[in-house]
Amino acid sequence: MGGFNKILDDLKANNITVVAASSDPQDKAAEMAKDLRFPIGYGVDKDTSDNLGGYWEPRRNFAQPSEFLITPSGKMAQVSYSDGPLARTEAGDVIKLVSFLESQKKK
């Protein structure tokens, strides 16, 4: 999430809004979010994860990282699931993808 925080101004300049949610309780999520400049929800349970389209880890009973790039019309432009610290979406790649999608509209 730190990568998104570092380029948040660039993301906003490209009309990209960043939000996050965690299955952690409020105090732990607040600690994680203390240096971030975008909102982070907390207390995501299995039902919420399922409703968001996330991946719930039944063995350890928490939401695994799930990333969604949603267009203004509500269409999923990109979805990424991870069960570990690797292969997460890079913040700069979001700007590239949004720019690409916008260029395709103009053709």
Q: Which helix (H) or strand (E) holds 63?
A: strand 62-64
pLDDT tens digits, 15-46: 899 999 999 999 999 998 999 999 999 999 99
Nearest 5°: phi and psi at 47? -60, -45
Q: What is the model's pLDDT at position 83?
A: 78
- Report whether pLDDT(49) > 80: yes
54-91, pLDDT tens digit by residue?
889 899 888 888 899 998 888 888 998 887 767 788 89
Rounded distance, CA 27 to CA 39, Å?
A: 14
pLDDT of residue 92: 92
- Specify the pTM: 0.81
Which numeric CATH code is attached to 2-105? 3.40.30.10
Q: Are 53 and 66 in contact (CB under 8 A)?
A: yes
